[in-house]
Chains A and B, each alone.
Chain A
Amino acid sequence: MSFTSTSPNVLLRAWNNKETRSVIIQILAIALIMACFAYIIRNAVINLETIGKDINFDFLWQPASYDINQYLIEYNSRSSHFTAFIVGLINTLLIAVAGIVLATIAGFLLGVMRLSDNWLTQKIAYVYIEFVRNVPVLLWILLVHGLIIHSLPRPKDSYQLANTFFLNNRGLHSPTPDFQPWFWGVVGLLTASIVFAWWFKRYANRVQQQTGNIYPVFWINCAVIVIIPSLAYWLLGSPIEWKIPSLQGFNFKGGMVVRPEFIALWLALSMYTAAFIGEIVRAGIMAVNHGQTEAAYALGLNSTRTLKLVVIPQALRVIVPPLTSQYLNLTKNSSLAIAIGYMDIVATIGGISLNQTGREMECMLIVLLTYLTFSLLISSVMNWYNNHIKLVDR
C-alpha cells in the first residue's frame, strides 16, 4: 500500500483504498437516493396542499354507487368501495386461477405435440406457438372478445346443449346447483375416501419397499374416490337440485351466466400463455438426457414408470422456474381486462373508484401493493418448491 500512502491528497488516498472507496460510494448513493425521495415527497406534499387534498383511506367505507357485472360475493351499488375492491380482487383471482389451469393443460399438450414423431402435429404446434406468441396479448383479448360478440347468436337463437346449457353473445348460461342438506353427507364421504386413498398410497409404498409387491394403487384409488361418493349420491336420492335457465323476454333468467368478457379474457390469456408454456415444456423434456431413459429401461422399468419416475421429475426441475414466471405473467396480464370491461381489481378500485373519488394516490397504492403481494407470494412458494426438488450435491 506504499503508493497510496505517499499520495499527497487525503481524498485521493481514501479513494484508492478499496474499503474506504466502497464506503464513500455507498454514502454518496444513500445521500442521492434520500435526496431524490425527499424531493419527490416535498413536491407531493406541496402539490397536494395546493389542491387541498390529503392522503386518507376513509373513502373506502363510503358507498361505491356503481354496478359491477360479475360478483361472487354480495355486492350492489350501495356497497362500499372496499367491497368493490374485494369483488375486483376475487375476479382477478378467479381469472388467474382459471387461466393458469387451462394454460397449463394446453401448454403441456402443445409441448408434447411439438416433440411428437408425427410431422403434421409437430408443425401445427409450431405454427400455433410462433403465431400466438408474436402478437400482443391485448390484441388477442380484443380479438377473441370481438369474435365472441360478433359471431355468437343473440339469446333468441342460442346454441344449446340438452336444453340446460345455452351459449349466446350474452355469455354461457348454465344451471346453478341448489344443495340439499344430505349433499354435505356426500361431501363428507368424498373427503373420507380421499383420506383413505392417501393412506392406501403410503401403505402400498411401504409394502413395496419391504416386499417388492406392487399394488395397482392408481386404479384402486380412482375406484374408491369415484365409486363410493357416486353411490352415496345415488342412494341419498340425488341431493342437488338444479335451477335451469330459461329464455324469458330478451334474455335468460335463472341459473348462472358466465359473461362473454370472462370467457374472452380466459380463452385469450390461456391460449397466449399456453404458447409460452409449450416451449418451456419442450425445452424441459429435451433437457433430460436420452441416456436416462435407456438406463431406466436397462434397470427393467417399463415405459410408464420410466416416464413417471425418471423423465418427468428431471424435466420438472427445468420446467418449474420459468413456468412460475409464466403464471405470474398471466396474473399480471389479467389486468388488461379493463380493455374489454371485465371488472377486475384495476377496473374497480383502480378505475371507477379512482375516477369517482379522485383519490389517485390511495387507489393506485392499493392496486400496486395487491399485485406486489401476489408476485411475492407466488415467487416465495415457488422458491420453496425449487429448493424442495433441486439436485442435492453430495
Chain B
Amino acid sequence: MSNKLYVPGTHPDLPPPSNTVGVINWLKSNLFSSPTNTFVTLVCLLFLTQLLPPMFNWLFIDAAYSGNSRQECVAQGSGACWAFISERLNLFVYGFYPIEERWRVNLAFCLLLVTLAAVLWDRIPARKYFLAYACIFPFIATWLLIGGLGLTEVPTSDFGGLMLTLVIGVTGISFSLPLGVLLALGRQSELPIIRVFCISFIEFMRGVPLITLLFVASNMLSYFLPPGTNFDLLLRVLIMVTLFASAYMAEVIRGGLQAIPKGQIEAADSLGLKYWSTMRLIILPQALKISIPGIVNTFIGLYKDTTLVIIIGLMDPLGIGRASLADPAWLGLSIEVYIFVAIFFFLCCFSMSRYSLYLEDKLVTEHKH
C-alpha cells in the first residue's frame, strides 16, 4: 500500500469490492442468498424446465412451416402448423379488400408511419410541416381506403384483418383524446347542467361493457335514426368505440386536472386570461403531462378492445382466423391462429407502453426523487 498523497478530489476510483463482482457473487446475492431464496429459485427452475422445452418444441422445432392442408402439417411434425398462417397471411393482413386495390392499403399504411413519426418523434426536421400533414392524414387515408374521387369504391364490409384493427384503433385513439379532454373539462365545469350531463355520460359509458354498446350499435341504432337511413356498420362501430374510450379517457384526464393546484387557475385569472386560454395554455399542458401513463393505458385498452368487433360480425384478424378455420382442410388449428394474433397484439401494445415510459422520462421537468 503506497502512501501517496492526493489533492482532495483527485484520488482515482477504487475497484469495486471483490465480493460484489463476478457471476458467482451475482448468483449468490440474487438467487441463493438464503435457504428460502434457494428453495424458491429451485422451484422456479423446475417450473421453467417443465414448461419451456415442450413449448419451444411445439412452437418451433416440431412445427410445420409449409404445406397445403392439416394432414401435410401432421406428417411433418407433431408441433404447431404455421403453414396455415403463411398460406392465409394476405387474408390476415387485408381481409377481403380487393386484391388489385391492396396497394392503397399499403400506401395508407406507409403514410400512417410517416404521420406517427411526425407525432411521436419531436426531433424530426421541419416538424411543423409534418404536423400539418398529420392533420390532413385522416382525410387522405379515408379517401385511399374507401375510394371515390377517381379511385374505385371499396365497401367497408370488405375491410378486415390487421388493416381493420388499425383503422378502428387509430381512429378511436385520435378522436377519443380530444373528446375525453372536453368531457373531463365538462365534468370539472362550474356550469351545473354541463357537469351533470358529462357525469351521466361518463358513468353510463363506464358502467356497461363495450360489447353491449356494440350490440346496441349493430341492432338498435337504426331505430333512432330517421326512417330509411342506412348507416355504415363500420362507422357505427367507430363511433361507439370512440365514445366508449373517451369516457375512460375523461376519467384519466380528470385525475390529471385534479392534481393541478388551484393557484394555477387563480394565477391565470389574475393575468386576465379567459377560460379557454387558461385551459389551453396553463392547465391542460400540465394535466396531460401527469396523465400520460393513464392515457396510454386507455389507448392500449382501446386497441385491445377492437377484437370485440368479431362478436357483431366484423372481420378483424381473430374473426378471419375463426372463419378460415371452418375450411375442412384446416380444421382444429385454432391455437395457432390465436397465438399468431396474440403476438401481433403484444407487439403493438408493448411498444405503446414502452413509448409511454420514454415520454414520461422525457417530460419530467422536476427533480427526480
Contacts from A to B (Cβ < 8 Å):
22, 25-26, 29-30, 33, 40, 43-44, 46-48, 50, 116-121, 124, 130-131, 134-139, 142-143, 146-147, 150, 332-333, 335-336, 338-339, 346, 350, 354, 360-361, 364, 367-368, 371-372, 374-376
Contacts and interface: CB of A to CB of B under 8 A. Distances in A.
Contacts of B135: none
A269 to B, nearest CB: 12
Contact of A135 (B220, B222, B345): B345
B223 A29 contact: no
A43 B224 contact: yes
Contacts of A46: 227
A121 B197 CA distance: 48
A139 B212 contact: no
A130 B353 CA distance: 10
A146 B334 contact: yes
Given A136-B345, A146-B334, A371 B33 contact: no
Q: Is the interface of A mostly helix, strand, loop or mixed?
A: helix
Contact of B342 (A135, A150, A372, A376): A135
B191 interface: yes
Nearest to A337: B211
B146 to A, nearest CB: 26
Given A47-B223, A50-B227, A135-B304, A364 B346 contact: no
A360 B342 CA distance: 33
Interface in B15-60: 30-31, 33, 37, 40-41, 44-45, 47-48
Contacts of A44: 223-224
A339 B311 CA distance: 7
B342 A139 contact: yes
Select the residue from B33, B192, B208, B332 with max chain A CB neighbours within 10 A: B208
Interface residues of B, number: 56
A16 B192 CA distance: 20
A130 B197 CA distance: 37
Given A142-B338, A372-B204, A333 B193 contact: no
B40 A118 contact: yes
Contacts of B208: 332, 368, 371-372, 375
A266 B287 CA distance: 38
Select the residue from B33, B210, B335 with max chain A CB neighbours within 10 A: B335
Given A134-B349, A143-B335, A368 B224 contact: no
B236 interface: no
Contacts of A120: 31, 40-41, 44-45
A4 to B, nearest CB: 14
B251 to A, nearest CB: 9
Contacts of A138: 307-308, 310, 318
Given A135-B342, A138-B318, A150-B334, A40 B224 contact: yes
Contacts of A360: 219-220, 223
Given A25-B191, A146-B338, A134 B311 contact: no
A131 B342 CA distance: 9
A234 B353 CA distance: 57
Interface in B303-337: 304-308, 310-311, 318, 332, 334-335
A139 B197 contact: no
